[in-house]
């Protein structure tokens, strides 16, 4: 369905003063080219100046049947007829005719002229392009300037070249020397000229190597010319079962249109050779088996890879340039065939296609040197309907345009689709910007940004009536119309305005009068309004729907159309800025004001467009905020793109007086996302209280999460507490609700009531409540590893009054992926609890975590802390030194960790001998036992803590025990036995009984017993050694008897 809106896309019109009746028109390069009916003359008019003054006029070599202008290279290409023959010619440097210079050079493709054109290109050149078949259609690439020629059965692609003269000289010198003697007499030269004319005619019907004829007849070596335009035939495509009527070219995409079908293929250069001819031959043979059974071609639409299944085979003919360019590879992109619906009264003429167009679109994030467009669109039209496809990134039908009456021609632009009927100019909106926006910005269609869908229904704007329209072309904001009244044909009867899916009546303006000259033809230049002006009119038009029905689908559709209009303008503005920056660099030396003035104007336009864009996003957000549940989520991205604060958005969404409905679901969806996501914006007390009121009325179940938001830190605690108490009375008691009420009591400094609320539930139940709502304990942390995390007031109070609950809660949050380890560490640092609660947290994490990487990291951390405490804490019982640890007792003692954590092992029996009680302070002894327990456990890697152990001296028995533990863990039993006999021989039996077992039992006889015997003989006081020796003998005898 096509929506119709009475907006005015046209601002003014003027009539171009043309002496003779125009037959053909085209636009480009700021000029309008007019070819008189049946004439051989082209007139160029300036579209950028008032009145469209004449730029120049020049004669052609034949009757022009078709004319096209190329933006790249600023050249014209024509199909001309003369003496029952058809020619293809290109006209370069045509602007020099405006200077009154009559010099015109004529040359063949690939050949250069002598004289002025060579020295400076100061004359117009006509390039004859020879073809083996009659040219039917021609197209210029808007990106590269290449030329595509459609013949009866082939497509020929010519590449635009800006060549250097020196390269041509080198290739011509060899053949030029052959003809040096021929130019000695004038008679010989005259004969050569006649021969040149004859061979030129032959070139139009035969193919000979380029550069051959010019090298034969150039009389001298040409002067150095920096650059000149020329063409090089690069590829020839042969078509089967399709006769081209129109062709189009854009980058690598080639489109050809027949009477009933459209085919789009993609040509790419590749170094890998592919035998396309073989596959095409097989395909043709396969299709010929079925062609006899088809009376009429069936309707087909084949997109992407499926297009290769069409019955049109395309083969590539080699041109001999494959070695330098690589092999051309061809892939099918799109095929569409139409069938006349005779049952509906349609004739073949009403089904014939026209207005084939490939349209590129660049995005703002492309680099300046990038030539490939981000988007390529294909448009073609029937007299009753038009079709717009997107080709890059997947072939997709974007829009189908249903016309109210028979359309003669259509032209696609960035903003609008202009179509002409016999009596009217009509405008339709396009969806190009929707495709470009999704390519340019990866965050489109997310919670951050949004854009109207590509599949949104199109709309038609105002109809402008004319008389006898014949042709249309567009350049920038200028629409050029050619009208020629037919006196013998009466006007068609008035058509109904409800045909072909139009949603409401067309609004038409009065027909324009013809010029006073009295002739039956006119050439109009109709100027379109600026996109910003059209946007403002759309906004005014939308107010009619907003006043009657704010939730009307037409309101949303019209604002979406305005949104796409602004997006297109922003894309075009960024493209203008890029062009100005490219052009200003070389010209700054000569003109310092021109580029700066243009840049300032573009910046001003860009600023106005961005402001309008934000305003439009706010309006779309308003529409979706009050919309249905199916689309209410779109209010979030549009409100974000508007740049408005939450306070301003609340003011826009306040329900009007007398309306029973409160806030819309889209606004509540936005507000919840705003509050649930971490943000640094803190609302004032008035705004925060309003948010509490909104949710207390609309969604009371979300009040706990809303109150936990850091944005509502300024809310009134007394008022919020009343609302929460009312919620508790109606919904019942819950742990998060009780904890939220306790937080409000803290803000009111009512500690007894706070304590009473916290004692309602057991600590483990409170932990589950914190898992359900983590923001009761911490704010931030959702932005990744480096996000700023800060504790709440409740967290600070728990650190003072219930540290065990705080540690258990943070451990639970980490294990449930609510907080990262580095964020938890930061919380304890913010609480100034690095030496107490943070270590308790690490110890608790060792008991709860099952992730090996985290366990090893935590083991190293706690070992480092224990070593640091042993190093900095005096071993005497009374400690008043500067490095004394916190006087608060740890949450878990060494015995608790041994009994509850598998990473802490039971102390070896021989360590009791080395650790006499009451010889160190309690903090020192606790750290020693925990470190010894870690070394006795199975998880700590001794090698990782050896560098830290060097800080501990082995002069004391507790230090010696730690070093002996490390040596034993590393399997150094021989040296450990010797050290233990030296320092504490009374512990040797306990050491041997524990460690010298199984595979190490041989050390009893090979190491321990010989050492005891030797030391007993030489020792003066050998009572301890002798007792150890006796116990060793008894133990070994018992072992032998058992065996």
Are the C-beta atoms of residues 587 and 594 closer than 8 Å to each other? Answer: yes
Does the structure show a pLDDT above 50 at 505? no
Report residue 591's pLDDT band, with 50, 70 and 90 as the boundaries. Answer: very low
For the cut 60, the answer to whether the pLDDT of residue 573 exceeds it is: yes
Q: Are 952 and 959 in contact (CB under 8 A)?
A: yes
Which range has the worst mean pLDDT, 238-247, 334-343, 827-836? 334-343
> Is residue 871 scored above 70 in pLDDT?
yes
Tell me what the mean pLDDT of segment 718-724 comes to. Answer: 95
- Cα 214 to Cα 179, 466, 627, distances in angstroms: 12, 51, 72
1030 contacts: CB under 8 Å, gap ≥ 6? none
pLDDT (tens digit, 9 = 90+) per residue, 100-125? 666 788 888 877 765 544 555 568 88
Mean pLDDT of 273-285: 46
Helix axes 837-848, 821-830, angle to 10 degrees: 160
Res. 223: pLDDT tops 90: no
Query: Which pLDDT value is given to residue 884?
Result: 46
State residue 39 phi and psi, 5-degree precision.
Answer: -100, 175
Enumerate residues 6+ apart whose C-beta is below 8 A from 475: 27, 28, 30, 32, 47
DSSP string, 114-145: -THHHHT--SEEEEEE--SS-EEEEEE-TTT-
Using H for helix, E for strand and C for coil, what is the string for 238-292?
EECCCCCCEEEEECCEEEEECCCEEEEEEEEEECCCCCHHHHHHHHHHHHHCCHH
Separation of alpha carbons 914 and 916, rounded Å: 6
Q: Report the distance separating Cα 338 and Cα 733, nearest Å.
A: 69
| Whole-angstrom distance, CA of residue 914 vs CA of residue 908 | 10
Q: What is the pLDDT of residue 576?
A: 62
Give the DSSP H or E segment for 88. Answer: strand 85-92
Identify the band that residue 15 occupies on the pLDDT scale cut at 50, 70 and 90. Answer: very high
Q: Which of 421-425, 634-638, 998-1002 has the lowest mean pLDDT?
A: 998-1002
Least confident of 156-170, 449-463, 574-588, 768-782: 574-588
Q: CB count, 10 Å around CB of 555?
A: 23
Question: Quick check: helix, strand or coil at residue 668?
Answer: helix
Q: How far apart are CA 41 and CA 64, in angstroms?
A: 8
Q: Mean per-residue pLDDT for 732-750?
A: 95
679-700 residue pLDDT tens:
778 999 999 999 999 999 989 9
Determine the Cα–Cα distance for residues 541 and 620; give it in Å rounded to an integer.
15
Average pLDDT of span 385-393: 93
**Bigger pLDDT: 662 or 193?**
662
Which residue in 440, 379, 366 sits closest to 412, CA to CA?
A: 379
CB burial string 621-645: b at 16+ within 10 A, e below: bbbbbbbeeeebbbbbbbbbbbebe
């Amino acid at each position: 369905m096509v929506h119709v809106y009475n907006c005015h896309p046209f601002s003014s019109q003027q009539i171009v003063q043309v002496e003779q009746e125009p037959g053909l028109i085209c636009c480009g390069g700021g000029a309008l080219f007019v070819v008189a009916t049946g004439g051989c003359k082209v007139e160029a008019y300036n579209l950028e100046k008032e009145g469209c003054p004449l730029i120049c006029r020049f004669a052609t070599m034949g009757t022009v049947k078709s004319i096209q202008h190329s933006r790249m290279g600023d050249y014209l290409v024509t199909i001309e007829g003369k003496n029952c023959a058809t020619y293809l010619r290109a006209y370069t440097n045509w602007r020099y005719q405006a200077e009154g210079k009559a010099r015109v050079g004529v040359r063949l493709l690939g050949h250069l002229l002598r004289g002025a054109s060579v020295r400076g290109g100061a004359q117009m050149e006509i390039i004859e392009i020879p073809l083996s078949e009659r040219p039917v259609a021609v197209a210029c690439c808007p990106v590269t300037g290449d030329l595509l020629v459609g013949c009866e059965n082939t497509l020929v692609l010519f590449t635009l070249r800006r060549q250097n003269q020196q390269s041509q000289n080198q290739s011509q010198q060899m053949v030029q020397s052959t003809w040096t003697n021929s130019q000695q007499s004038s008679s010989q030269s005259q004969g050569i000229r006649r021969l040149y004319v004859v061979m030129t005619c032959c070139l139009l019907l035969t193919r000979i190597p380029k550069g051959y004829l010019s090298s034969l007849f150039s009389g001298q070596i040409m002067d150095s010319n920096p650059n000149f335009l020329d063409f090089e035939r690069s590829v020839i495509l042969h078509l089967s079962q399709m006769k081209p009527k129109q062709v189009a070219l854009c980058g690598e995409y080639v489109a050809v249109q027949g009477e009933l079908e459209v085919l789009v293929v993609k040509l790419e250069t590749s170094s890998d050779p592919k035998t396309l001819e073989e596959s095409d031959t097989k395909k043709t043979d396969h299709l010929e088996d079925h062609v006899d059974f088809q009376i009429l071609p069936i309707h087909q639409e084949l997109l992407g890879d499926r297009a290769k299944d069409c019955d049109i085979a395309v083969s590539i003919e080699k041109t001999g340039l494959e070695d330098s360019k690589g092999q051309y590879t061809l892939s099918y992109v799109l095929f569409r065939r139409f069938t006349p619906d005779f049952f509906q009264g349609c004739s073949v003429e009403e089904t014939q296609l026209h207005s084939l167009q490939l349209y590129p679109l660049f995005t703002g994030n492309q680099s300046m040197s990038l030539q490939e467009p981000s988007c390529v669109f294909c448009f073609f039209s029937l007299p009753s309907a038009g079709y717009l496809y997107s080709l890059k990134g997947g072939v997709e039908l974007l829009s189908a345009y249903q016309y109210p009456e028979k359309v003669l021609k259509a032209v696609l632009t960035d903003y609008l689709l202009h179509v002409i009927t016999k009596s009217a100019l009509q405008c339709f909106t396009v969806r190009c910007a929707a495709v470009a926006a999704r390519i340019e910005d990866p965050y489109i269609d997310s919670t951050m940004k949004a854009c109207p869908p590509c599949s949104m229904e199109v709309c038609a704007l105002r109809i402008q009536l004319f008389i006898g329209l014949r042709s249309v072309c567009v350049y920038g904001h200028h629409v050029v119309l050619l009208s020629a009244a037919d006196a013998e044909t009466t006007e068609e009867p008035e058509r109904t305005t409800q045909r072909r899916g139009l949603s409401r009546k067309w609004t038409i303006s009065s027909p324009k009068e013809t010029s006073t000259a009295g002739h039956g033809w006119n050439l109009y230049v109709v100027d379109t309004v600026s996109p910003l002006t059209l946007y403002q009119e759309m906004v005014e038009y939308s107010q009619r729907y907003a006043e009657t029905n704010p939730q009307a689908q037409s309101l949303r559709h019209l604002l979406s159309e305005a949104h796409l209009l602004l997006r297109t303008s922003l894309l075009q503005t960024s493209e203008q800025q890029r062009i100005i920056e490219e052009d200003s660099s070389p010209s700054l030396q000569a003109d310092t004001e021109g580029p700066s003035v243009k840049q300032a104007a573009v910046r001003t336009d860009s600023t106005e467009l961005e402001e309008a864009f934000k305003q439009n996003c706010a309006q779309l957000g308003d529409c979706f905020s009050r919309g249905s549940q199916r689309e209410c989520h779109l209010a979030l991205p549009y409100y974000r793109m508007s740049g408005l604060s939450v306070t301003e958005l609340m003011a826009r969404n306040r329900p009007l007086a007398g309306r029973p409905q409160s806030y819309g679901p889209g606004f509540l969806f936005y507000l919840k996302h705003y509050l649930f996501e971490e943000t640094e914006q803190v609302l004032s007390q008035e705004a925060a209280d309003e948010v509490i009121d909104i949710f207390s009325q609309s969604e009371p179940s979300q009040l706990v999460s809303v109150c936990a938001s850091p944005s509502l830190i300024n809310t009134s605690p007394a008022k919020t507490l009343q609302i929460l108490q009312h919620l508790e009375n109606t919904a019942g008691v819950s742990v998060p609700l009780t904890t939220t009420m306790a937080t409000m009591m803290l803000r009111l400094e009512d500690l007894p009531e706070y304590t009473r609320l916290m004692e309602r539930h057991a600590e483990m139940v409170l932990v589950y409540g914190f898992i359900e709502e983590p923001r009761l304990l911490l704010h931030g942390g959702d932005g990744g590893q480096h996000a700023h995390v800060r504790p709440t007031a409740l967290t600070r109070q728990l650190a003072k009054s219930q540290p065990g609950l705080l540690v258990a809660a943070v451990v639970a949050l980490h294990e449930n992926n609510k907080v990262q380890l580095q964020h938890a560490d930061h919380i304890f640092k913010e609480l100034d609890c690095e030496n107490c609660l943070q270590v308790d947290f690490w110890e608790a994490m060792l008991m709860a975590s099952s992730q090996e990487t985290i366990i090893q990291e935590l083991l190293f951390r706690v070992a480092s802390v224990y070593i640091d405490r042993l190093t900095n804490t005096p071993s005497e019982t009374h400690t008043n030194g500067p490095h004394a640890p916190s006087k608060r007792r740890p949450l878990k003692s060494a015995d608790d960790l041994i009994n509850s954590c598998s990473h802490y092992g039971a102390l070896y029996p021989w360590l009791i001998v080395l650790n006499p009680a009451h010889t160190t302070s309690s903090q020192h002894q606790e750290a020693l036992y925990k470190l010894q327990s870690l070394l006795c456990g199975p998880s700590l890697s001794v090698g990782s803590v050896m560098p830290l152990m060097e800080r501990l001296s082995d002069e004391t028995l507790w230090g010696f025990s730690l070093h002996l533990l490390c040596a034993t863990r590393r399997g150094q039993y021989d040296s450990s036995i010797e050290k233990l006999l030296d320092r504490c021989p009374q512990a040797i039996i306990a050491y041997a009984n524990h460690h010298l077992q199984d595979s190490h039992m041989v050390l009893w006889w090979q190491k321990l017993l010989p050492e005891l015997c030797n030391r007993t003989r030489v020792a003066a006081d050998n009572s301890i050694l002798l007792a150890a020796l006796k116990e060793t003998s008894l133990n070994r005898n018992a072992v032998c008897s058992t065996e």
